[in-house]
């Protein structure tokens, strides 16, 4: 197993620990006694996990450690981190006035990613080969979802969390549409 893949697996291992601290902090907020060290631990774990995504990619390219396993596990680790953060930050309040990610946004992200997985399975069955190139909408989708997560965790009081979530929702739907179009194209091309 390559060093890059080990970094990716470490990222996956951090996710449940991050989720525990999100829940613990949310419960302390709900009880009226926010434990700020728990919040900052969750922020630190999320930051470390997110940064490890860039590190494992750099290690894989720099030391020629690209592998089929790495290509498979890296996007799964990313999704695991993002979906866990979005779901847990919608389930637990992180401040007064119900400061959290809206539940509708969590459902939208889960629905999009579920439909993408179904699409990949259908393309695999029909075309036998799945070819997806990263698109700018997918990258912007990920960035805007990260911004929404950070907005809640860092308690940026400029605007309520619904605003960055609406922006992220636009790109979530848009990138999902591009995945749908690409799956359709590949299935039609295969006959």
Whether residue 120 sits in one domain with residue 181: yes
More confident residue, 130 or 87: 87
Whether residue 74 sits in one domain with residue 27: yes
- The region of weakest confidence among 45-49, 75-79, 81-85, 87-91 is 75-79
- The region of weakest confidence among 32-41, 77-86, 136-145 is 136-145
CB 118: neighbour CB atoms within 10 A?
Answer: 11
Interatomic CA distance for residues 120 and 135, integer angstroms: 16
- The region of weakest confidence among 33-42, 44-53, 89-98, 177-186 is 177-186
Whether residue 182 sits in one domain with residue 120: yes
Whether residue 10 sits in one domain with residue 67: yes
Average pLDDT over residues 106-130: 87
The DSSP line for 144-181 is HHHHHHHHHHTT-TTS-THHHHHHHHHHHHHHHHHHHH
Whether residue 13 sits in one domain with residue 62: yes
Full domain range(s) for residue 156: 101-191
Is residue 158 included in any domain, yes or no? yes
Which of 34, 53, 81 delimits the end of a domain?
81
Give pLDDT, residue 97.
Answer: 87
Give pLDDT, residue 139.
Answer: 86
Is residue 92 included in any domain, yes or no? no
Average pLDDT over residues 97-120: 94
Which of 52, 81, 110 delimits the end of a domain?
81
CB 136: neighbour CB atoms within 10 A?
Answer: 10
> Comparing C-alpha atoms, which of 152, 126, 151, 116 is closest to residue 25?
152
Give per-residue pLDDT as tens, 126-150: 877 777 677 888 889 999 999 999 9
Contacts of residue 113, defined as CB under 8 A and 6 or more positions apart, other chains included, come to 79, 83
Give pLDDT, residue 174.
Answer: 96
Give per-residue pLDDT as tens, 65-78: 888 888 888 888 99
Whether residue 150 sits in one domain with residue 122: yes
User: Structurally, how many domains does the chain consist of?
Assistant: 2
Give pLDDT, residue 191.
Answer: 67
Whether residue 106 sits in one domain with residue 73: no
Is residue 87 included in any domain, yes or no? no
Whether residue 191 sits in one domain with residue 109: yes
Whether residue 117 sits in one domain with residue 33: no
Average pLDDT, whole number, for the chain? 92
Give per-residue pLDDT as tens, 39-54: 999 999 999 999 998 8
């Amino acid at each position: 197993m390559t060093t890059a893949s080990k970094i990716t697996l470490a990222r996956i291992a951090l996710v449940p620990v991050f989720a525990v601290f999100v829940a613990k902090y949310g419960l302390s907020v709900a009880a009226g006694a926010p434990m700020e060290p728990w919040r900052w631990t969750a922020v630190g774990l999320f930051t470390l996990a997110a940064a490890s995504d860039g590190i494992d990619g750099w290690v894989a390219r720099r030391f020629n450690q690209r592998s089929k396993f790495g290509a498979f596990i890296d996007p799964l680790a990313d999704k695991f981190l993002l979906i866990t953060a979005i779901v847990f930050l919608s389930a637990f309040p992180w401040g007064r006035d119900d400061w959290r990610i809206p539940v509708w946004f969590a459902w939208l992200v889960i629905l999009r990613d579920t439909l993408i997985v179904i699409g990949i399975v259908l393309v695999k069955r029909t075309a036998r080969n799945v070819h997806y190139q990263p698109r700018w909408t997918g990258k912007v989708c990920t960035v805007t979802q990260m911004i929404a997560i950070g907005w809640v965790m860092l308690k940026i009081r400029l605007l309520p969390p619904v605003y960055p979530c609406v922006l992220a929702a636009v790109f979530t739907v848009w990138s999902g549409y591009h995945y749908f179009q690409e799956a359709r194209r590949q299935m039609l091309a295969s006959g």
